Structure 1
Amino acid sequence: MYQPLRTARTETVRIRHLDYHVRLWGAPQPGQAPLVLVHGWMDVGASWQFVVDAFSKAFAAGRQIIAPDWRGFGHTRPAAPCDHYAFADYLADLDQLLDHYAGAQPIDLVGHSMGGNVAMVYGGVRPERIRRLVNLEGFGLPATHPSQAPRRYAQWMEEIRQHERGELALKTYDDADGVAQRLMKTNPRLPAGKAAWLAREWAAPGADGRWAILGDDAHKIVNPHLFRVDEALALYAAIRAPVLSVEANSDSLSQWWKDKYTLAEYHQRLTHVRDVRTAVVQDAGHMLHHDQPQVVAKLIEDFVSKI
């Protein structure tokens, strides 16, 4: 099994009536921006361990690294049952987490997938709080049309009913090895040792002894609000921090959306960011921070270390 090179400590912070579970490496350094790592959908803060281990010794020792579990993921669970989650809540959660860990000090923000989308939106909403921003495969969503709104609201209401009937329940597994096999099936590039370690951070045994993913199944319910490209572009334009957009060479975007949304369209959206550069990670899929942690760590380290 994988053995972490840098031991994390965990703590719980009260944020917006939730006990937020946060993973930390290092300690605050005077004059040095904290590095905040935010995970994607159905993932956990521990997912960043491979990248943290790949940072150089000097970089890892020179700043505090912070990786929360988003609400409804990992060990940040609502006290009462929840039947849906709103994207805007991640922004407010992040805002108050930064109050706690950084105060008025700008931070370096790295987000993967859903976390990358949160990072880009937050960078436009609170531009003064971000020193540098790294977006790993956070592409946004396909363009929508207002005519889709009636069907979307109807879909949302029906999926809430499905959730209440238990029809959206996540699959459970006999043991941690079963979870590891699931991780490797989803991502064939993930080595067995890393899968075995991650399985025990990504899932846990329930009262019945079966292992369940640490993610609320209510996250499967569709967002009732349409994704509006014009709003996204306005938020991109409001980002003041330099941005590094990183994608895997496998073009996971086209794999998900086919002709509904392409990398070319995403790159066109990026032209609205005032200071942006892109990088491609070879031999990697969507979970590029698992597939090539050394490459991703160096990209992050080099980018945020620039004056």
Structure 2
Amino acid sequence: MLNVIEHGEPGRPQVLIAHGLFGSGRNWGVIGKRLADTFHVLCPDMRNHGDSPWFDSHSYEDMADDLAGLLDGPADVVGHSMGGKAAMMLALTRPDLVRRLVVADIAPVAYGHSQSHNIAAMKAVDLSGVTRRSEAAPLLDADDEVKSFLLQSLDVAEARWKLNLDVLDREMDRIIGWPEVSGRFDGPALFLSGGRSDYVRREHRETIKASFPQARFARIPDAGHWLHAENPRDFEATLRAFLA
């Protein structure tokens, strides 16, 4: 169902990588290509993102079901931010499909940082005369770092965003929240945070351990919330060490 970019040879140990809000599987191309020497890496576009289908809902239960549909057996599952919550939901509801879990810079808690302002900024851009992404940049009211990231989801040829902005806006409380979920994942789990990020705090560890009793914690120095993009070499090295 989801659009998937694959790296590496089928038959190798499988790694599934779930991207964050406003992202796509392409965002993980560098990491995916480097891991391809050892793994078969699946980088899907999550629902309502990229080239995957659009739906009227965007719950973590739905996203976990989407990811489960890509797997025919246990895999190592990596998720960043929104994708990290989807990966956690998959591990809690379908532990038979998750061999090892890596959660990048997010905790199983509700947050207050709505991203609706970025959705409003994207909707406000008049794309009718835009022929290059560089022409859309000054029209997009966002911080420079965020602007560059958002523009990766602009389809200039079709004059559209490859994001279901209406549904993502309507479902924002679900996206930044975390539902009541029973279950426990007893497999190996790594919660990997950016050294400059405050998304995973010490007070979250008790909550994490309740659902993921084997959880271990590590930080990537010189990186914020987008740790895999800001310090990809250290992220890759930590990932390889854990998956080995």
SS at match of 2:17: strand
| Distance in 2 (alpha carbons) for counterparts of 1:180 and 1:47 | 19
Name the counterpart of 2:3. 21
Pairing 1:48–2:28 present: yes
Give the letter aligned to residue 283 of structure 1: D
Check the 8 A contact 2:108/2:208 in 1, yes or no: no
Q: Which residues in structure 2 correspond to 1:282-297 (within 5 Å)? A: 282-297=221-236
Aligned to 2:69: 96
- 1:71, 1:77 within 8 Å by CA — same for their partners in 2? yes
Contact 1:33 1:106 in 2 (8 A): no
Whole-Å Cα distance in 2 between the matches of residues 25 and 132 of structure 1?
19
- The aligned amino acid for 1:45 is G
The answer on 1:203 being equivalent to 2:185 is no
Q: Are the structure 2 counterparts of residues 246 and 179 from structure 1 closer, same or farther at C-alpha, using a change threshold of 3 Å? A: farther
Shift of 1:289: 1.0
Give the secondary structure class of the aligned counterpart of 1:297: helix
CA shift for structure 1 position 137: 1.2
* Alignment equivalent of 2:134, drawn from 174, 177, 180: 177
Q: Which runs of 5+ in 2 are unaligned?
A: none
Residues 45 and 69 of structure 1 are in contact (CA less than 8 Å); yes or no, is this contact kept in structure 2? yes
Tell whether the 8 Å contact from 1:46 to 1:67 is kept in structure 2 after alignment. Answer: yes
- Check whether the contact 1:44–1:69 (CA below 8 A) recurs between aligned residues: yes
Letter in 1 for 2:218: A
Go from structure 1 to structure 2 and tell me whether the alpha carbon gap of 1:180 and 1:132 turns closer, same or farther (over 3 Å shift). farther
Take 1:84 and 1:127, find their aligned partners in 2: how far apart are those partners? 23
CA distance in 2: counterparts of 1:186 and 1:223, whole angstroms: 21
Residues 93 and 240 (structure 1), Cα distance of their counterparts in 2 relative to 1, 3 Å cut: same
Q: Is the 8 A contact 2:60 2:89 kept in 1?
A: no
* Residue 239 (structure 2) aligns with: 300
Alignment root-mean-square deviation, CA: 3.2
State the Cα deviation string for residues 88-131 of structure 1 (Å, max 9, x = none): 21111111111xxxx2x310000000110111111011112111
TM superposition outliers: structure 1 runs of 4+ over 6 Å: 166-169, 180-184
Paired position in structure 1 for 2:51:
75
SS in 1 for 2:3: strand
Aligned to 1:215: 163
Residues 57-106 of structure 1: CA distance to partner in whole angstroms, max 9, x if unpaired? xx52222110110111001133xxx55433321111111111xxxx2x31
Question: Is the deviation greater in 124-133 or in 106-115?
Answer: 124-133
Larger relative helix fraction:
1
**TM-score, normalization by structure 1:** 0.65
Deviations 1:171-191, CA, capped at 9 Å, x for gaps: 436321256776871359xxx
Contact kept, 8 Å, 1:116 with 1:138, in 2: the verdict is: yes
What residue number does 2:145 align with?
A: 186
SS at match of 1:303: helix
> Taking structure 2 as the reference length, what is the TM-score of the superposition?
0.80
Contact 2:99 2:187 in 1 (8 A): yes
Q: Does 1:113 align with 2:81?
A: yes
Shift of 1:41: 1.0
| Counterpart Cα distance in 2 of 1:249 and 1:134 | 16
Q: Secondary structure at the match of 1:271?
A: helix
Matched, 1:241 2:187: yes
> Are 1:39 and 2:7 counterparts?
no
Aligned residue pair count: 230
Counterpart CA distance in 2 for 1:134 and 1:284 is: 17
